[in-house]
Amino acid sequence: MTDRPTRRHVLTGAAALAGIVPGLAMAQQAQNVAAAPVEGTEDRGQIISPYGAHQAGITTPRPAHGMVASFHVIAADPAALEDLFRRLTDRIVFLTHGGPVPELDPKLPPADSGILGPVLRPDASTITVGLGNSLFEGRDWLAGLKPATLSRMTKFRNDALVADICHGDLAIQFCANSQDTVVHALRDIVKSLPDRLVLRWAQVGNVPVIPPRPDGQVESARNLLGFRDGSANPDSGDVPLMDRIVWADAGEPTWASGGSYMAVRIIRNLVERWDRTPLSEQEAIFGRTKASGAPLDRRAGTETDVPDYTADPEGAVLAMDSHIRLANPRTPDSDRNLMLRRPFNYVNGVQKNGQLDQGLLFIAFQSDLERAFIAVQHRLDGEPLEEYIKPVGGGYFYALPGFSEGGDYLGRTLIEAI
C-alpha cells in the first residue's frame, strides 16, 4: 500500500463508521479533527497506520484520549540519535498495530506492563514525535538543521509558566480511544528507551464522547469552559489546504519536508470563576453561543456558520475583543495565520487553594510557527478571556516527517542530512 502524501488510510477493523454515523458516509463532508468522538464508534481493533509521508496523529481524527509527554534526549552523537529514532520507530510500529506481547521466562520481569492484557489491541492509537529547540541548540552536529521557525516557547502576557512542565528535547503525542492505551504506550517507551529518553513531564487529557446526532452532523467537542472548541478548524480532508496550513515546506531545511510545527500549551481554566460568570458575558467573551456554538451574529445557526465581521465593523454583536474575532478576524490577511487545533481537556485534581486544577491541553499543528500560533496568540494578548485562563506549561516542537513501511524510520532524513 502506498499512502497518498497527505490523506492517510484509516484502516478499520470491524464495521466501518459509515453505517453508524450516516454523516461520515457523505462524500465531501468536511473533516474536522476536533470533532467530538461519537459514542459507539470506538473500535478497539482499529489500526491507524503509522506509515506515510506525514506522521499519524495530526490530520487523523482525534480520538477520546490523548497525552503529551516531554523528554530529555541522551544522544551525544549522530549514531546515538539514529539509535534513538530507530528504536522509537520499532516501538511505535508495534504499539500502533497491536498483537501479542512477548512471553519471557517467568524469572524475568515481564516484557510488557500487562495493563492491556496479553494481546494489545491497536485501539486507533497514534504516536507522534516532535523535536524541541533544545535538541538542536545543544548539539553542534545539528547546526544548520534546525527548522526555520522552531524556537523555545517564551512567555506571553497572560502566561505563568512553570519550569517543570515546559519545553523538552523531544515530545511525544499519544492518542487512542482509551486512556489505558495511552498510558500503556508511554510506559512501554519509557521502559524501552531508558538510556536515550528521560521523562520531563507529561499531561494526559481527554475529550467528551457524545451520542450520534440523528442528522449525522458532527459536533466539535466541548472544552471545560463548556464551549465547543475547534469549530472553525480547517478541513483536514482538504489536501491542498493541509499542504498550505499544516505541512511545513518552503523555507525549511530539506530534511524537514513533510513535518509540522506542534505548539503545545497547558492552559489552566479557572473554572470556579468562569461558572460564576453570567451566560451572556461568557458568550460575549467567546463570540459564540454556549449551547450550539453558533457565532453570535447567527444565533439560530450552527457552529459551522461563518461570522460576518464586515457587517459588524464596530463589534456591536461580536465584540472586537471576543475570542473568535481576535483569533481569526477572517480578513484576507489573517488567512495566513490558520492552524489545525487538536486539543484535549485535562483534570489534574485539586490545587492548594482548594480550587479545581482543570484546563486545556492545547495542541496545534501548523506549517510556520511564527506565522500561525505565535501571531495568533499575540493577537489574543489582553483578550477578556484571560481573566479565566492561565497558561502554565507546554512547548514548541517540530513533528518529524513520516516514515514508510519496511526498514525506514522516523527522523531518517534528519540523520542523513548530518
Partner 1 sequence: MRILTLAAICGMLATPAAFADTTLDLVGPISDYKLYVSDKTDDLVGATEEFVAAVKGGDVEKAKELFAPTRQHYEAIEPIAELFSDLDVSIDSRADDYEQAEADPAFPGFHRIEYGLWEQNSTEGLEPVADKLLADVKELQGRIEGLTFPPEVVVGGAAALMDEVAATKISGEEDRYSHTDLWDFRANFDGARKIVELVRPLVTDEAFLTKVDGNFATIDTTLDKYKEGDGYVTYDKLTEDDRVALSAAVNALAEDLSTLRAQLGLG
**Rule CB under 8 A: which residues touch partner 1?**
1, 11-13, 45, 47, 49, 72, 74, 87, 90, 93-94, 97, 99-100, 102-109, 111, 138, 191-192, 194-198
Question: Smallest gap, in angstroms, from Cβ of residue 104 to partner 1?
Answer: 6
For the CB of residue 16, give the shortest distance to partner 1 in the complex, in Å.
Answer: 11
> Hey, how many other C-beta atoms are within 10 angstroms of the C-beta on 79?
11
CB of 74 to partner 1, least distance (A): 4
Shortest reach from residue 414's CB to partner 1, in Å: 21
The three cell numbers of residue 161 are: 509558566
- Which of residues 138 and 208 has its CB atom nearest to partner 1 in the complex? 138
- Classify 137 as helix, strand or coil: helix
Per the structure block, which three cell numbers stand in for 249?
515546506
Nearer to partner 1, 73 or 364 (CB): 73
Nearer residue to partner 1 within complex by CB, 184 or 342: 184
Looking up cell 510557527, which residue turns up?
369
Shorter beta-carbon distance to partner 1: residue 172 or 369: 172
Min CB(133)–partner 1 separation in Å: 15
| Contact in structure between 324 and 288 (CB atoms under 8 Å) | yes
Residue type at 370 in one-letter notation: E
Q: How far is the CB of 107 from partner 1 (least distance, A)?
A: 4
Instruction: Tell me whether strands 356-366 and 340-341 are parallel, antiparallel or unpaired.
Output: antiparallel
Annotated binding-site residue? 329: yes
Please, what's the b/e burial string for 111-131 (b: 16 or more CB within 10 A of its CB; e: otherwise)?
A: ebeeebeeebbbbbbbbbbbb
Q: Is 231 annotated as a binding residue?
A: yes
Give 71 or 227: the residue with its C-beta nearer to partner 1: 71
Helix (H) or strand (E) holding 364, with range, is strand 356-366
* Residue that has been written with the C-alpha cell 472544552 in this structure: 223
Question: 20 is written with which cell numbers?
Answer: 453508524
Would the annotation count 232 as a binding residue?
yes
C-alpha cell at 390: 492561565
78 beta partners:
none
Reduced to 3 states, what is the DSSP secondary structure of residue 110?
coil
Nearer to partner 1, 27 or 119 (CB): 119
How wide is the angle at C-alpha 289 spanned by C-alphas 287 and 292, nearest 5°? Answer: 135
Is 328 a known ligand-binding residue? yes
Binding residue positions: 230-232, 288, 323, 328-330, 341
